Structure 1
Amino acid sequence: MTSTRIKLATEASYLFQQKGYHGVGLSEILSHAGVPKGSLYHHFPNGKADLALAAADVASTEVLRIINAAFEPAKDYREGVTTFCHKLAKYFDIHDGNIGCPVSATLLGGQNDEVFRDTLDTIFTSWMDLLEAHAMRLGQSQDEAKKSAQRLFLSLEGSWTLARARRDSDVMRALPKLIC
């Protein structure tokens, strides 16, 4: 059974991805999660800001899971990149192209404070570190793997934005041919 805290964070994550931090009210999150208002402040004493941090953590955990699912069975780095990009494109399509980056939509569009920016930096670094580890496991040197991970991350962030603007997930599917 999903805990109320996880349910709130998960629903908030999807809503923040669709509408941004300021585009979603607490009553909408509570309605989607099907929980009373008291539950929010019980689990997130500082309200929306705490909930946004938890939502970003939930989304980041899912991205890390997708990275592993794409790269663990890969025979080489390019195959892992291709699978990862296709998985993200499918996720994008499931949400009809109306969804932003799972964490930047929440944290960059939220409070303009150091905690949000530091959390976002930590999350992005964890994604690149995992991509780098997979690249090294698949035969790249540490220096090459670090550059590959950064290139993929930066390219994905840009391709996600372009895919959203064009409402076309093929932008993400084309990425491996451009960067590998």
Structure 2
Amino acid sequence: MDTKALLIEEAKNLFQQKGYKGVGLNEILKECEITKGALYHHFPNGKEELLISCLQSMQEEITTDIDMIFQQHSSTLTATKTLVDKLTAELDSGNKIAGYTFSSIVSEISSLSEPVRNACTALYEEIQKIYFKKLLNDGYPEEEAASLSLFMTVSIEGAMTLCLAKDSTLPLSNINAILPRLLKD
């Protein structure tokens, strides 16, 4: 793994574990076993630029995974249930689904800068697009598909945050129980 990729991977893990403000540059440097000069070579604007690269990396991982699930299923309902089941299984196995949610990072840093806020927004918009396309394929009118895709994004992200806060998968399970009332199969 090259130095830039190592920095992104290690910083992403640290940010997800401790939050943006809870991680100092020295901790990232120590984890990567590199110098400050190497970090600034790849990220001249420092920690914030590194964070944006981490958010972009998370966006690619998350949306690729969600898109694959949605392509494998014939309806939005079955695809969403599969996604929620996957997230629930990851939580049940002791994982913290950090790759799927960065609400804590977003809430902590959304006031930092416009570029950080834009990187956060891009992920949620990309997830919404995946849901929106599937809903259109299911025959939903465009306006309803737009509303439902926003609702799904907010509900699933919020449920994951509650799961982490409560140390329980019940919020995600509730989504799967309610989905058949909202979506056609």
Instruction: Report if TM-score (shorter chain) is over 0.5.
Output: yes
Report the equivalent of 2:36: 37
Task: Name which of structure 1's ranges 73-82 and 22-31 shifts more when overlaid on structure 2.
Answer: 22-31
> Percentage identity across aligned positions?
28
Q: TM-score scaled to structure 1, two decimals?
A: 0.85
Report the equivalent of 2:149: 149
- The runs of 5 or more residues in structure 1 that have no matched partner are none
CA-to-partner distance for each residue in 1:126-169, whole Å, 9 max, x for gaps?
22112211222233332222122111111012111110111123
CA-to-partner distance for each residue in 1:94-140, whole Å, 9 max, x for gaps?
66438486444334323622222232223211221122112222333
The one-letter amino acid paired with 2:115 is V
Report the equivalent of 1:178: 178
Q: CA deviation at 1:47?
A: 0.8
Report the equivalent of 1:129: 129
Report the equivalent of 1:61: 60
Matches within 5 A, 1:93-172: 93=92, 96-97=95-96, 99=98, 102-110=101-109, 112-172=112-172
Determine the C-alpha separation between the residues in 2 that align with 1:46 and 1:74: 42
Task: Name which of structure 1's ranges 113-122 and 38-47 shifts more when overlaid on structure 2.
Answer: 113-122
Q: How many residues align?
A: 179
Is 1:50 aligned with 2:55?
A: no
Task: Name which of structure 1's ranges 114-123 and 62-71 shifts more when overlaid on structure 2.
Answer: 114-123
Task: Name which of structure 1's ranges 162-171 and 136-145 shifts more when overlaid on structure 2.
Answer: 136-145
Higher Cα Rg: structure 1 or 2? 2
CA-to-partner distance for each residue in 1:8-47, whole Å, 9 max, x for gaps?
1122122212211001112222333343332211110111
Determine the C-alpha separation between the residues in 1 that align with 2:7 and 2:88: 25
Distance 1:44 1:168, change over 3 A: same
Judge conservation of contact 1:12–1:55 (CA < 8 Å) in 2: yes
Distance 1:136 1:25, change over 3 A: same
Judge conservation of contact 1:20–1:105 (CA < 8 Å) in 2: yes
Determine the C-alpha separation between the residues in 2 that align with 1:32 and 1:138: 46
Determine the C-alpha separation between the residues in 1 that align with 2:28 and 2:173: 32
Q: TM-score scaled to structure 2, two decimals?
A: 0.83
The one-letter amino acid paired with 2:42 is H
Determine the C-alpha separation between the residues in 2 that align with 1:87 and 1:166: 18
Q: CA deviation at 1:53?
A: 0.3
Judge conservation of contact 1:108–1:117 (CA < 8 Å) in 2: no
Determine the C-alpha separation between the residues in 2 that align with 1:125 and 1:61: 12
Determine the C-alpha separation between the residues in 2 that align with 1:86 and 1:137: 22
The one-letter amino acid paired with 1:16 is F
The one-letter amino acid paired with 1:37 is K
